[in-house]
Amino acid sequence: MRIFRHERAEGADRGAAVAIGNFDGLHPGHRVVIAAAGKIAHAAQVQHAVLTFEPHPYAVFNPTAPPFRLTPFRSKARHIEALGVDLLFALHFDREFAKHTAEQFIDEILVRGLGASHVVVGYDFVFGNQRRGTAEFLLDAARARGFAVTIVERETSSGGEAYSSTRIREHLTGARPREAAKLLGRWWEIDGRVEHAAGVGKGLGYPTANLPMADYLRPAPGIYAAFAGIEDGKRTEWHPAAAYFGRRPTLGEHELGLEAYLIGFAGELYGRHLRLALVDYLRPDAAFAGLDALKAQIGDDVARARRILADEKPEP
């Protein structure tokens, strides 16, 4: 998959079937929209493209809001590539870009920029200044401009719940990673490059890999059974893990941090890229009387995580 940070398509890349959306989370509802564009592209023998926006528009208009992303760009691009997409256009979104009217977005980006032959959007797609463009508006405008539009209706889970990034966030902040996974179609992941830390875990016999949270959503603090995936090019080597997200109150710290103990792994991880998939919530964060009590609790947490993960797969 080729990634573009602009909306200009050249040569054979013009005329693509393009799925448009923020696609934060890449849940099954998003994947249906992208797959519909892929089916159209295959039938018409044109490129299969996705058009998205970075940073997320919500972050631009709410710069002081807490982090909320389910899939920051690197993670989102990985999931999109796995769907067989040929071209990913990630347009820079800022307040100047937000001034585009719905008509300007269609004419300048979809028509002149991409030369799109077919555009696929979800039923709730809105665009343009003050979100005045809708999926139906796009459908009407396309007729006069020579490209086709497909509107994908709402998708629901087997339990009847609508696929929703907002609902997934609620499950994660509510300590319900399994419920979030039902709507995502996979475990929710945080990825990043392993950082150096104080090494307290190593001193307790449980060396941990510390990950930056960047603009990922902050899940409920506490202990999780998780899978940790060490990236090696296109390959990921998965290990069962016990993960901790919290303030380390026993150590007198106050900043939220994320770390994971890879069960049965003894190699070096500093500087490696790690994917951490949260499977089950074990317990809330807590302060202990001292390091001996903390060590004993970590042992219990690791044993429990091991039992839970024995019946799970890292990439269901």
Q: How much is the average pLDDT of 184-204?
A: 85
Q: State mean pLDDT over 169-186.
A: 97
In the chain, the percentage of residues whose pLDDT exceeds 70 is: 98
Q: Please give the pLDDT value at position 58.
A: 94
Paired tokens of 87: 């071209």
pLDDT at 315: 83
Q: How confident is the model at residue 204 (pLDDT cuts 50, 70, 90)?
A: confident
Considering only residues 274 and 233, tell me which one the structure prediction assigns the higher pLDDT.
Answer: 274
Cα distance between residue 208 and residue 231, in whole Å: 17
Mean pLDDT score of the chain: 94
Query: In this model, does residue 22 exceed pLDDT 90?
Result: yes
Domains of the chain in sequence order: 2-152 (3.40.50.620), 180-309 (2.40.30.30)
- Measured distance CA(161)–CA(167) in Å, rounded: 9
Report, as an integer, the average pLDDT of 194-218. Answer: 85
Determine which of 71-75, 116-120, 232-236 has the lowest per-residue pLDDT on average: 232-236
Q: Is the pLDDT of residue 268 over 80?
A: yes
Residue 255 scores a pLDDT above 90: no
Tell me what pLDDT residue 289 has.
86
- Residue 216 pairs with which residues in a beta bridge? 69
In this prediction, residue 279 carries a pLDDT of 98
Q: pLDDT digits over 116-143, tens only?
A: 999 999 999 999 998 899 999 999 999 9
How far apart (Å, rounded) are the C-alpha atoms in residues 51 and 119?
Answer: 10
Q: Which of 159, 96, 120 is nearest to 35 (CA)?
A: 120
> Judging by DSSP bridges, how do beta strands 235-246 and 257-262 pair with one another?
antiparallel
| pLDDT of 316 strictly over 90 | no
**Which of 165, 77, 80 is CA-nearest to residue 124?**
165
Of 253 and 287, the one with more pLDDT: 287
The confidence score (pLDDT) of residue 199 equals: 64
Label residue 287 by pLDDT band (50, 70, 90).
confident
Provide the percentage of residues in the chain whose pLDDT is more than 90.
84
Predicted pLDDT of residue 198 = 65
Strand 48-54: give its sheet, edge to edge.
2-4, 87-92, 48-54, 17-20, 118-122, 148-152
pLDDT for position 130: 87
pLDDT the model gives residue 82: 95
pLDDT at 159 over 80: no
- Asked if 168 and 182 touch (Cβ cutoff 8 Å), the reply is no
Check whether 100 has a pLDDT greater than 70: yes
| Mean pLDDT of the 25-35 span | 97
